[in-house]
Amino acid sequence: MLWSFLIALGLVLSVAGGAFLYVWNGLRPTAPSGTPVRVTIDKGMRAQKVAEVLQASGLIRDAKLFSGWLKLKGEGARFQAGVYELTPGMTREEIVDKLNHGDIVAAATFRFTIPEGFTVQQIADRLAQAGQAKKDAFLQAAANPAVWSGSVWAAQIPQDAKLRFPLEGYLFPETYEMRSGSSEADIINRMLAELDKKLNQLPEDWQTTMQERGLTLHQLLTIASLVEREVVIDDERPIVASVIENRLNKKMPLQIDATIQYLLGKQKEKLTQEDLKVDSPYNTYLHAGLPPGPIASPSLKSIEAALYPDKTDYYYYVTKKDGTNGHLFAVTYKQHQRNIQLSNRNVKK
C-alpha cells in the first residue's frame, strides 16, 4: 500500500509539475528581439482575438493561456483600438499596459491650408499641386451628394442645375491636418464638418435671425461669399452686407464684379463691357437677386456680416484705389459717380 501511495503521489506530482511547466512556459515572454512589431487592434475586438493576433505576431507564446490569464486578471475590456508597436520579449503586463492606455503609433499626417475666398476649383488645384488629392477625383466627390456625410447642412443644398459646384461655399477655409492616405471624400467631409463647427460658434440666435430675415443657409452663404470676395477690411464687411441687403430689398441688380470673375473662371484686373454681358445666372449685372449659390468659401467674419449687416442707406460702393483696400460708399447714384471720380484720381497719384 505504501508503494502504491508513493507511486500515485509521484504521478500526481509529475502531472502537476508538467502542467505548471506548460503554463509557465506558455506565459513567459518570447525571445527578446530589438526589432519592433506592428499589430493592429480593431475596434470591438475581443480579448481572445487580440491574443491570437499577438501570438501570430510572435509577441506571446500561447494565445489560449494568455486569454485565460487576461480573464483571471479581469483584463481585456479596456483595450483600445489602433496600431501598436510592440517588441518581442515584452512581459504580458507591459503589453496589457500599452493596450489599456492606447499607446498607439502616431499616424502619418499631412497638412494643408485653404485661404478664405477660395473656390472649389482652386481648392482642387491646390490639393492636386501638393500631391494630396487627385483633382478629378476631388471634383467628382464634390459633385456627389452620396459621399457628403460631414455636415448636416450639406443635405439642404438645393438641387439646382444652375449651380456650377454644389459644394461651393460649404468647404470651410482653414488649416487642416489629416491622416495620410485620406481619400478625396475624406477631405471634403472634414471640411464640411469644419463648417458645422464654425456655424456653432455664431451667436446663439443665428438660426432665428436667419429665419426672421427669410434666408436659408444657402442664401446666407451666398451673401457671405459675395462679401468675402469684395472686402478685405473686416470693419467694412457688415457695411457691404448692408449694401447687398438694401439692393435686394429694392429689387436692384447687385452688379457685383466678383460674380463676373467667378462665371469667367479667372481673375481679371479689369472687366470689359463684353464681360458684363455674358449670359449666366451668376451675372448679377443682367439678373436681379442673388446668384444661384456661393461663389467662394467665406470666412466666419463674412458669414457673421451677412447674418448681421449694418443698418445703412448705402446702395453703392467703389474701391478707393489708394492702397488701403478700403471702399467709398454712397446713398445715391450721383454720390457714387463722384466717388468713382475720386477713386480714379487716386489711381493717377
How do residues 84-96 score in pLDDT, each as one tens digit? 999 999 998 999 9
pLDDT for 186 equals 95
Q: In this structure, how many other beta carbons lie within 10 angstroms of the beta carbon of residue 28? A: 12
For residue 229, what pLDDT band results from cuts at 50, 70 and 90? very high
* Cα distance between residue 276 and residue 94, in whole Å: 71
Tell me, yes or no, whether 303 and 235 share the same domain: yes
- Domain end, chosen from 199, 224, 241, is at 199
Question: What residue spans of the chain are helical by DSSP H?
Answer: 2-27, 47-56, 63-73, 92-101, 120-129, 135-142, 184-199, 206-212, 217-230, 237-249, 257-264, 300-307, 333-348
Say yes or no to pLDDT of 23 above 70: no
Q: Could you give phi then psi for residue 48, rounded to 5 degrees?
A: -60, -40
**Is residue 151 included in any domain, yes or no?**
yes
pLDDT for 35 equals 86
Tell me, yes or no, whether 181 and 223 share the same domain: no
State what percent of residues in the chain have pLDDT above 70: 93
Say yes or no to pLDDT of 66 above 60: yes
Say yes or no to pLDDT of 20 above 80: no
* Three-class DSSP category at 236: helix
Tell me, yes or no, whether 292 and 343 share the same domain: no
Least confident of 12-16, 91-95, 106-110, 235-239: 12-16
Cell numbers for 158:
438645393
CA separation, residue 340 to residues 183, 192, 318 (Å): 48, 40, 7
Q: Per-residue pLDDT tens for 246-286?
A: 999 999 999 999 999 999 988 887 888 999 999 999 999 99
For residue 230, what pLDDT band results from cuts at 50, 70 and 90? very high
Tell me, yes or no, whether 211 and 308 share the same domain: yes
For residue 235, what pLDDT band results from cuts at 50, 70 and 90? very high
The single-letter code of the amino acid at 349 is K
- Domain end, chosen from 146, 170, 199, is at 199
**Is residue 55 included in any domain, yes or no?**
yes
Residue 151: HSE in the Cβ half-sphere, 13 Å Cα cutoff: 28
Tell me, yes or no, whether 213 and 299 share the same domain: yes
pLDDT for 180 equals 87
- Domain end, chosen from 71, 101, 131, is at 101
* Cα distance between residue 133 and residue 283, in whole Å: 31
pLDDT for 348 equals 67
According to DSSP, the residues that pair with 113 across neighbouring strands are 175
* Cα distance between residue 47 and residue 57, in whole Å: 15
Tell me, yes or no, whether 232 and 306 share the same domain: yes
pLDDT for 16 equals 56
Tell me, yes or no, whether 297 and 211 share the same domain: yes
Q: Could you give phi then psi for residue 315, rounded to 5 degrees?
A: -125, -5
Instruction: Supply the DSSP string of 49-81, one letter for each residue.
Output: HHHHHHHHTTS-S-HHHHHHHHHHHT-STT---
Q: Per-residue pLDDT tens for 131-165?
A: 999 999 999 999 999 999 989 999 999 988 899 99
**Is residue 21 included in any domain, yes or no?**
no
Tell me, yes or no, whether 66 and 118 share the same domain: no
DSSP secondary-structure letter at 185? Answer: H
What CATH number does the domain containing 54 carry? Answer: 3.30.1490.480
According to DSSP, the residues that pair with 109 across neighbouring strands are 179
More confident residue, 336 or 347: 336
**Is residue 210 included in any domain, yes or no?**
yes
98 close to 86: Cβ distance less than 8 angstroms: yes
Tell me, yes or no, whether 281 and 333 share the same domain: no
* Cα distance between residue 235 and residue 238, in whole Å: 7
Structural domain count, the chain: 4
* Cα distance between residue 29 and residue 60, in whole Å: 6
Using alpha carbons, select from 112, 222, 132 the residue that is nearest to residue 168: 222
Tell me, yes or no, whether 210 and 157 share the same domain: no
State the residue range of the domain holding 37: 28-101
Cell numbers for 101:
492606455
Tell me, yes or no, whether 55 and 78 share the same domain: yes
Average pLDDT rounded to a whole number, residues 5-22: 57
Q: Per-residue pLDDT tens for 168-213?
A: 999 999 999 998 889 999 999 999 999 999 999 999 999 999 999 9
pLDDT for 251 equals 95
**Is residue 58 included in any domain, yes or no?**
yes
For 347, residues 6+ apart whose C-beta sits below 8 A from its C-beta are 321
Say yes or no to pLDDT of 12 above 70: no
**Is residue 304 included in any domain, yes or no?**
yes
Q: Per-residue pLDDT tens for 71-127?
A: 988 998 899 998 899 999 999 899 999 999 988 887 788 999 999 999 999 999 999
Sign of CA dihedral 111, 112, 115, 118: negative
For 246, residues 6+ apart whose C-beta sits below 8 A from its C-beta are 312, 313, 314, 315
pLDDT for 265 equals 86
Using alpha carbons, select from 226, 218, 177 the residue that is nearest to residue 199: 218
